[in-house]
């Protein structure tokens, strides 16, 4: 069964850090576009970070300089290191895999076919 499983969410105070993990099973995705998205209550889902198959990265303006996406191909896992967290970062975070696209040339509009179940991140002031 092909699936993505996120972990690492939790509750932190503003200024704190968390590292989210996204483990893939049933599929070797290390050479495709992967992404992290989030959805806050009452808001639309938004893109946070992308990593292309060649390792190139891009970020939403709201998280640039604070969040870092990385991967461990041997573990088939993508990470999102989140530093200097703010209350506005509170959301359910999802990882996603494009499955068929090596590049993320369409940015957050790249077709992501596989999604994880999400992990809650809560940042208190």
25 pLDDT band, cuts 50/70/90, is: confident
pLDDT single digits (tens) 65-76: 999 999 998 898
Q: What is the 3-state secondary structure (H, E, C) of the chain?
A: CCEEEEECCEEEECCCCEEEEEEEECCCCCCCCEEEEEECCCCCCEEEEEECCCCCEEECCCCCCCEEEEEEHHHCEEEEEECCCCHHHCEEEEEEECCCCCCCCCHHHCCCCEECCCEEEEEEC
How confident is the model over 48-94, as pLDDT tens digits? 999 999 999 999 999 999 999 999 988 989 999 999 999 999 999 99
The full length of the chain comes to: 125
Beta carbons of 46 and 35 less than 8 angstroms apart = no
């Amino acid at each position: 069964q092909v699936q993505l499983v996120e972990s690492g969410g939790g509750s932190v105070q503003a200024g704190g850090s968390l590292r989210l993990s996204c483990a893939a099973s049933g599929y070797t995705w290390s050479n495709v576009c992967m992404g992290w998205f989030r959805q806050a209550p009452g808001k639309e889902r938004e893109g946070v970070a992308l990593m292309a198959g060649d390792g190139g990265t891009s970020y939403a303006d709201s998280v640039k300089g604070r969040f870092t996406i990385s991967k461990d191909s041997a573990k088939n896992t993508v990470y999102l290191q989140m530093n200097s967290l703010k209350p506005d970062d509170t959301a359910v975070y999802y990882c996603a895999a494009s499955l068929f696209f090596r590049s993320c040339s369409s940015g957050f509009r790249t077709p992501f076919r596989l999604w994880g179940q999400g992990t809650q991140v809560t940042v208190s002031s």
